[in-house]
Amino acid sequence: MSANNSSTLKMPQGKFRAYLGLGLSATGILILLAMPTLISQYYVYLLATVFTTALLATSLNLVLGYGGLLHLHHGVFYGVGAYTVAIIMTKTSWPFAVAVVLGPLVAALIALVIGWFCVRLRGLYFGMLTLALGQLVWAIIYRWNALTNGDNGIHAIPVPEFLTSVNSVYYTTLIILCLSLVILYLISKSPFGLTLLATRDNPMRSESLGIHVRRHRLTAFVIAGFFAGLAGVLFVLVERSVAPSLLSWNKSAEILIMCLMGGLTVFMGPTLGAVILVFLSMFVGLYTEYWLLVLGVLLLILVLFLPQGILGYFIKSNDKKGGV
């Protein structure tokens, strides 16, 4: 066979990457399904925490990476989803299923209200307004003692009996994470997702083509808030307690760094960033209490040496070499 004929039989680079990604994803899921039988209960709990955080970071990336919006307080929707479940389960007689449904919906509603104001601004002004309004929600949670117990938080949140073991929580969070990632991936590759990318790269040209930029950004903001609220529901399953720190700016900064660490332009980048940051915070906490200082150094390194993130760096390097 000639060289020309053999070159025509090569699989296109994009298709090869897609099949490779599917193969690696399937292998990873099989390994994760077997994990509870291979590791201790503590690490099973830690992986459940990683799943929750990965969903939270990926939801932010829809706004930050694909929408190009500097969202500085995404953790507020995480906390709202968690507090909704906690309040319903401790102060009402409603079933757990209702709490699970309402958690993401209330978070999406708060995202709609905040986003309605924020999408009228751009750049740093957008980010500062999200920060200010997010801090306002945090202050309400922190001060409304009759409903939220204030800075004491809500503890011993009841959950169904089948979700009381570490393994059941692990598999529940894993399944919800996988389904959510599939949905978010399909959204990112849909006409809406591609249009969102266009509004990120050139909002003025998008408007001239008849695209309603604000509407697309608001829709992305609400979708991201919904999945952040869903991550908050998973947090309640894992921890059985909530506190105002879930809505703090420090938490939002960690989520932002996860996205930057993995790569804003790569769909699985935030998931990688969540894995690294959760395990790193655990090990750093064993030796020092200055986790925020370590976090600041990490952010500095990312900005200076890996602005495209870890996965973004490797993909860019392979593209330069002509590899797959």
DSSP states of 147-175: HH-GGG-B-S----GGG-SHHHHHHHHHH
pTM of the shown model: 0.89
Give the CA angle between residues 57, 62, 63 to the nearest 5°: 100
- Three-class DSSP category at 242: strand
- For 201-218, write each residue's pLDDT tens digit: 988 898 888 889 999 999
Cα–Cα distance list, 296 to 39, 135, 289, 292 (Å): 31, 21, 14, 6
Q: Kindly give, in sequence order, each residue whose CB lies less than 8 Å from that of residue 93, ignoring residues fewer than 6 positions away.
A: none
Question: What are the tokens at 316?
Answer: 């860019």
- pLDDT, position 324: 42
DSSP states of 36-86: GGTS-HHHHHHHHHHHHHHHHHHHHHIIIIIT----S-THHHHHHHHHHHH
pLDDT band for position 322 (cuts 50, 70, 90): low
Domain ranges of the chain: 4-314
Compute the average pLDDT of residues 173-189.
Answer: 95
Decide if pLDDT at 67 tops 70: yes
Decide if pLDDT at 253 tops 60: yes
- pLDDT, position 175: 95
Looking at the domain 4-314, which fold is it? ABC transporter involved in vitamin B12 uptake, BtuC (1.10.3470)
Decide if pLDDT at 52 tops 80: yes
Compute the average pLDDT of residues 109-123.
Answer: 94
- pLDDT, position 17: 58
Q: How many CA atoms lie within 13 A of 54 on its CB side?
A: 25
- For 308-317, write each residue's pLDDT tens digit: 888 887 777 6
Decide if pLDDT at 119 tops 70: yes
Decide if pLDDT at 11 tops 50: no
13 residue type, one letter: Q
Ramachandran bin of 312, using left for φ above 0, alpha for ψ from -120 to 50, beta for the remaining angles = alpha
Decide if pLDDT at 94 tops 80: yes
Give the burial string for 283-310 (b: 16+ CB within 10 Å, else e): ebeeeeeeeeeebeebeeebeeeeebbb
Radius of gyration of the chain from its Cα atoms, rounded to whole angstroms: 21
In percent, how much of the chain has pLDDT > 90?
60
